[in-house]
Structure 1
Amino acid sequence: MNRFFKPLYGLLLGGTLLGSYGCTNYLDEVNRSNFSQNSYFTSASQAQSAVDGLYASLRMFTADNGYGERPWVTLELINGHATTLGQSFFNSQFINQTADAANPPFRTIWQSSYNAIGSANLAIQRIPAISMDEALKKNLLGQAYFMRAFFYYHLVRLYGDVPLILDPIDASSTQLYPTRSPQADVYALIVNDLKQAEQAGLPTTDQTGRVSTGAVKSLLSSVYLTMAGYPLQKTENYALAAAKAKEVIDLNVYPLFTSYDYLHDNAHKNQGELILQAQYSSAIATNSISAQIIPYFARVSVYGDEYGSLIPTEGFYKTYESGDLRAQERQFYFTSYPSITDTTRTVQFGVHALYKYFHKESALNRNVNSDQNWTLLRMPEVMLIYAEASNEANGPTAAAYAQINAIRSRAKLPALTGLTKDQFREAIWKERYHELAYENKAYFDTQRTRKVYDVRNNRMVDAIGFTNESGTTFTEKYLLWGLPQYEINNNRALTQNTGW
């Protein structure tokens, strides 16, 4: 039987995101033998536990798909601005665009997303009937609506038309073997869910890792920007994207960090410009993000493996402007580090590895697990959404310049001024590449703009038919992922994307 959703008793339910609410941790084992969809949602604490359990699925991007293979790595390798120094067969397939629909990341994202959506559907259906504090009920439903929108947003961008399921599924459901729904319908659901979350009384910002009103508005601005581009091309949404991004800017609660180190240390998790992150904690949930970005067995950390899974291309690194702070040693990148076995010796990498994700707390201490958070939304993205969307709607404005120039000022770069609409658009796209480098934004930008970064000539060009610095020619097939072959095999109502 094709399992789009695990039943409620098959999911980990418990008290908290990472143990900060209540006494039970949602990763702890619980007795599921007496759980059912009808009997579980009877109290406020059960409603809280059900919603808290949704947050674990945000970790799907760092899920282990094999040696050196993670979905977040896959998303970067497809765009051609990274190589892999490890021994991963699947990673090489994504660089060369020779993958097939059986590749592990396709199934990981699909199943993780639909499991989360199934749990959100249960929460949205069952929580309203619970006798509990109405403000808390509204808050929990807002979080559930956000989560459903978040996961559908990733599904519709990665796979195109996808099954649109809004009710809980069980063995007797007519939607057990669903068909694909048009992308426009999926986006309509996403927008509606986020509007529901906007009105849920969530806190403006949240430093515990929960969804906030700022996170809702930030994601909605991204959704509107994507809808304005390909494939929907609802260009009226540029104005909506700009307006929603401005609402986040006007909140004035997400200040840019004064140091890039704060993007990947433990002390600044969920603070400053970090709007929403997937949560990790040493004793509860860990990851290998830091080990993935260290060149293959460089021996500069205490990690058992240094994978070299994702190494920026030198071609991309060289596109940073002269004097850009982000390109200087141990800002976004690093080329050397002291040997972990001989601190008097410095290991030269021969490449610009991604210091942006180097987690010193765990890399240099065997007693600390790797638990840096994975960033999903941060303020520079919202600022650049505003700049791009307002430029498309009204051309370059002082307000749009102010947002991109604030990012450039932190990077010690001169302010932009006096550009035409077309020049400003390209400048914003490049700034997205440089500021949001390797944060899983570039591939989605390629999808919605149909443009890629020609790093040899420092310009944006049509994606289809372009040969990148890795020697791979981008094909139309890779504007979408293949539906997981496992799902196709088990649900004859599903059709495959072209070329897969």
Structure 2
Amino acid sequence: MGCNSDFLTVSPQTYQSAGNFFQTKDQFIQATNGAYAPLQFLYSGTNAGPGGSFWALAEMRSDNTSYQYNTGDRSGFPLEELDEFREINTNSTVADFFNRSYSGIARCNVILGRIQNAQIDAATKTQVIGEASFLRAFYYFNLIRLYGNVPAVFDEVTSTDAAFAIAQPKAPGEIYPTILNDAKTAITNLPDSYTANTDKGRATKGSARMLLAEIYMTQKNFSEAAKELQVIVQSGKYQLNASYADNFNIAKENGPESLFEIQYIEGSNAEFSNFIYTFAPWNSGSKVAALGVASGAAAGWNMPTQDMLDAYEANDQRKAASIGLDFTDPATNKVVPYVRKYQSVHSIRYQTGSNFPVYRYADVLLSLAECLNEIGYSAGGEAFTYLNQVRRRAGLTDKTAGQVASQEAFRQAVAKERQVELAFENHRWFDLLRTGKAVEVMTAHAAREKAAKSYVINTAYQTISLTLPYPLREMQLIPK
């Protein structure tokens, strides 16, 4: 004990810490896998109920979906608030999405900071930088669109003082340059595809190009967006599935139409999804989900609205593939529509392996059609070609210049097509924001909802807010 030598001061070889972890190729790959992990929660709320789920903020916030009123269990009120634009800054879903997103950003920051001097092979370093850059851009893009001003954290935070120093929210204009740079870095560094089954779900050049195009479209830079989308189309690496339903068939996940999807695995492994239970009527029992839905606030969410049902044209094959109309509420004797596109066979209750699609080739085609029209309307031009590819797959006839005779008419046609093609895939609210239609569409939707639903309270839809409230806890951490 009197010895001054430090030979007894050693780090356990089995203990991993930030100081000794980021050393090898396998460790950086493991860390990158961890940077994807928050996406599973953001998209399904896995292991934590519906809180934090993207669909509550991107679908229920729009005219696509609402909720099934449950008189016996009122614990789901935070989601009801989001649907009716009456949420407050203590809303748990608002806070959960914010926190989980920054957890992902923090992991990306550590990876991007530590890998620069890491002694690993160049190929791995390139790929890891590409994946971390894509993920950081993706997390930030969603935060900006949902919250507006948010903290700009682009480096590893190593102290409490440093954390407080970057807590002040920044305007999107101060963050977008880094997001754009990250997306471009991802395109440069990522491969076109992967060969190993264990790499399914990783971001690719196609994923990054679609992200960059969506960012450009949000900024109304349609020319640059079109360039990225045309590269995807001309690459020949993607195509529409023969059947729309194949996109959601668990046996055909990560197929030819998929650019990026959130990966889930059935089983007690903390990697499962539970969409079909959350999106089932809360009192449907085993009629919707074969293994049975427990009545209560864990179900009855993201339910298709009448506006959504009315959006489909006659004979549109996507409606039957997307929406179930086979459950009648025994209390009201009314049909309760529910999202069925994520239905899958599984053997463990509440634990499915259904992935969640983020970017599909149909989205590429419709986005390119929109961009070309914004650059300049052309009767029967190339934009019609891309729009009609998607329509034909749905069993519908082509749109013609006689039917869609102006730039504004084409805008409306694309918006309607996106609503039904990408229904329940977390696009609708962002489309309304991006096109400046959110207030107009949601004000009209609110009037119809209030007229049809006696339980909608007076304070619902009073203000169609375009951003979510900044979480109270985060606001309290901002230095005064």
TM-score by length of 2: 0.84
1:449-496: per-residue Cα shift (whole Å, max 9, x none)?
Answer: 22149xxxxxxx465687343238756552001111111123345xxx
Structure 2's unaligned 5+ residue stretches are 1-12, 451-455
**DSSP-derived class of the 2:357 partner:** strand
Letter in 2 for 1:334: G
Q: 1:254 aligns with which of 238, 246, 254?
A: 238
Shift, 1:263, TM fit: 2.4
Using CA pairs below 8 Å that are at least 6 residues apart, which structure has the higher relative contact order?
2
What corresponds to 1:186 in structure 2? 175
Letter in 2 for 1:433: Q
Q: 2:214 aligns with which of 222, 231, 248?
A: 222
1:478 aligns with 2:478: no
Q: 1:355 aligns with which of 298, 316, 340?
A: 340
What corresponds to 1:451 in structure 2? 437
Shift, 1:42, TM fit: 1.6
Q: 5 Å matches for 1:9-48?
A: 33-36=15-18, 38-48=19-29
1:13-56: per-residue Cα shift (whole Å, max 9, x none)?
Answer: xxxxxxxxxxxxxxxxxx995402x4322221211111121111
Shift, 1:192, TM fit: 0.5
Quick check: which has more Rg, 1 or 2?
2
Q: 5 Å matches for 1:311-390?
A: 311-328=303-320, 331-336=321-326, 350-359=335-344, 361-362=345-346, 365-366=347-348, 369-390=351-372
Residues 260, 78 of structure 1: alpha-carbon distance in 2 compared, 3 angstrom cutoff: same
1:413 aligns with 2:392: no
Q: 1:54 aligns with which of 29, 35, 38?
A: 35
Q: Which moved more, 1:144-153 or 1:248-257?
A: 248-257
Q: Is 2:54–2:97's contact at 8 Å kept on the other side of the alignment?
A: no
Q: State how far apart, in whole Å, the 2-side matches of 1:142 and 1:190 are.
A: 13
Q: 1:171 aligns with which of 156, 159, 166?
A: 159
Q: Is 2:266–2:348's contact at 8 Å kept on the other side of the alignment?
A: no
Shift, 1:116, TM fit: 0.9
Identity among equivalent pairs (%): 24
**DSSP-derived class of the 2:448 partner:** coil
Q: State how far apart, in whole Å, the 2-side matches of 1:67 and 1:129 are.
A: 40
1:117 aligns with 2:78: no
Q: State how far apart, in whole Å, the 2-side matches of 1:370 and 1:212 are.
A: 25
Residues 201, 444 of structure 1: alpha-carbon distance in 2 compared, 3 angstrom cutoff: closer
Shift, 1:81, TM fit: 3.1
What corresponds to 2:125 in structure 1? 137
Q: 5 Å matches for 1:136-155?
A: 136-155=124-143
Residues 479, 372 of structure 1: alpha-carbon distance in 2 compared, 3 angstrom cutoff: same
Letter in 2 for 1:44: K
1:108 aligns with 2:108: no
Q: Is 1:279–1:374's contact at 8 Å kept on the other side of the alignment?
A: yes
The number of aligned residues is 435
Q: Which moved more, 1:423-432 or 1:58-67?
A: 58-67
Q: State how far apart, in whole Å, the 2-side matches of 1:372 and 1:290 are.
A: 9
Residues 169, 368 of structure 1: alpha-carbon distance in 2 compared, 3 angstrom cutoff: closer
1:423 aligns with 2:409: yes
Residues 148, 78 of structure 1: alpha-carbon distance in 2 compared, 3 angstrom cutoff: same
What corresponds to 1:199 in structure 2? 188
**DSSP-derived class of the 1:407 partner:** helix
Q: 5 Å matches for 1:213-292?
A: 213-228=205-220, 237-283=221-267, 284=269, 285-292=271-278
What corresponds to 2:3 in structure 1? none
Residues 258, 148 of structure 1: alpha-carbon distance in 2 compared, 3 angstrom cutoff: same
Q: Is 1:80–1:95's contact at 8 Å kept on the other side of the alignment?
A: no
Q: Is 1:80–1:468's contact at 8 Å kept on the other side of the alignment?
A: no
Q: Is 2:372–2:383's contact at 8 Å kept on the other side of the alignment?
A: yes
What corresponds to 1:403 in structure 2? 386
Q: State how far apart, in whole Å, the 2-side matches of 1:366 and 1:238 are.
A: 46
Residues 269, 468 of structure 1: alpha-carbon distance in 2 compared, 3 angstrom cutoff: farther
TM-score by length of 1: 0.81
Letter in 1 for 2:400: T
Q: CA RMSD in A?
A: 2.7
Q: Which moved more, 1:309-318 or 1:122-131?
A: 309-318
Residues 367, 318 of structure 1: alpha-carbon distance in 2 compared, 3 angstrom cutoff: closer
